[in-house]
Homo-oligomer: A and B are copies of this chain.
């Protein structure tokens, strides 16, 4: 299965389907060992067996010393596409190590959308320097792409595309494809446009080949299933559209409906990755720029803010406890048990919150079914509240030999879990309605509520009924 024609006679078992070696942690360690012994020949040889995407991964695993050594080894002969495979933070470091000249030269070999990806995080002066080696046409394309806001369709679309008028026959189309000089390297769909250069349909290439020459393109194109995307559309919405409609490609148009680019499903895969990572990180109070390869101080600073907010809310919960100092003084068991009520509320609420944040992202949860979902979540948490009221009540009774103390913790548990379900659903819905990403800061609001309600219900009931 290797790609070598001469090797066709070998038995299938010895082949790998790939000319490259797979990058495993063991293989990486061999390279790092060679670097450690300053054996650049061995390291170079091992490196030359790797696909450029694996070299990018390897740089991510390396320490900053090893990274500098690796960059020197790949400098003489690297595939420019390697630059597109690096994470943002890492790319900046590698580009600084390689030097602007080398990178400016390398990006002349990339497609315009890849150039945009490589340079978009640099400031304008650096961008101008990096773009210096590009041809005027190429530079104009990149600068146009950079003129669209980040995270919009204009940034992820390809400008290289094949468009034909709808009055052409299949034969004319094939002749055009065979003779045209400046087509993209590989393409899969042809976009059919009207005289205003507005897309009216899409034809998969396979259909062009399989249809008789005299047939008109307009008679074999897909038009019902085609969806156009506005160039300023947010990439999140583009990703949703592709997933929901199972699209392979979509033409991108400007305000006047003119075709300006095309987005294909493989561009969308990266967007889906980014959006998910954002949700997951935001739920935990971690910044998007918080990368394994970020500097310690940057990471510390980016996480500090969230922890500071959390300190504020923890102090708020402590103030609630402080209201009951006298009660605790009389019955220290309350101090022993109170974290249980708060923690169960926090966990039950987080379950609801996560389901709601996810369902809002996939648009399964909208204003049409919000109340039904809220009612369901309250019911679910209420039922689990009942179950854990019995369990925690029994444990408390057994532990402290006080049935009333068990009853108090049970009732507090039910109250707190009801609030957890209610606010676990309400908070993300409210943030979404206010135009704020429901993933960001939902969980800090929620645990504030479950801590405050948990401590207040438990200690308050104890003060009222036990003393």
Contact = CB atoms under 8 A, between A and B. Distances in A.
B3 A277 contact: no
Given A1-B200, A17-B226, A273-B243, A314 B339 contact: yes
B340 A315 contact: yes
A96 interface: no
Contact of A339 (B317, B329, B373): B317
A174 interface: yes
Nearest to A209: B177
B199 A347 contact: no
B300 A380 contact: yes
B17 A277 contact: no
Contacts of A62: 369
Interface string A254-291: 00111000000110111011001101110111100010
Interface stretch (A99-107, A125-133, A348-356): A348-356
B246 A25 contact: no
Nearest to A391: B311
- This chain: copies in complex: 2
Contacts of A286: 351, 354-355
A177 B210 contact: yes
A404 interface: no
A21 interface: no
Contact of A336 (B258, B268, B322): B322
Interface string A307-347: 11011011101100110010011001111111110111001
A458 to B, nearest CB: 12
B383 A25 contact: no
A376 B329 contact: no
Interface in A118-153: none
Say what secondary structure dominates the interface of chain A.
Answer: helix
Interface string A20-51: 10000100110010000000000000000001
Interface in A46-62: 51, 53-54, 57, 60-62
A286 B350 CA distance: 9
A77 interface: no
A87 B244 CA distance: 12
A228 interface: yes
Contacts of A431: none
A268 to B, nearest CB: 7
Contact of A226 (B18, B257, B303): B18
Contact of A340 (B209, B318, B355): B318
A379 interface: yes
A437 to B, nearest CB: 15
Contacts of A292: 355, 359, 364-365, 369, 373, 376
A15 B198 contact: yes
Given A209-B205, A210-B183, A329-B329, A363 B315 contact: no
Nearest to A321: B336
A395 interface: yes
Which of A20, A201, A322, A343 is the most central at the interface, judged by chain B CB atoms within 10 Å of its CB?
A343
A223 B329 contact: no
A226 B245 CA distance: 28
A170 to B, nearest CB: 11
Given A2-B200, A280-B283, 16 more contacts: A3-B224, A61-B364, A61-B369, A178-B210, A188-B205, A209-B209, A265-B269, A272-B273, A279-B280, A296-B383, A303-B348, A303-B351, A307-B344, A307-B351, A307-B384, A310-B343
Q: Which 8 residue pairs spanning A and B have beta carbons closest together? A: A3-B223, A12-B257, A17-B228, A335-B335, A284-B354, A186-B204, A314-B340, A205-B205
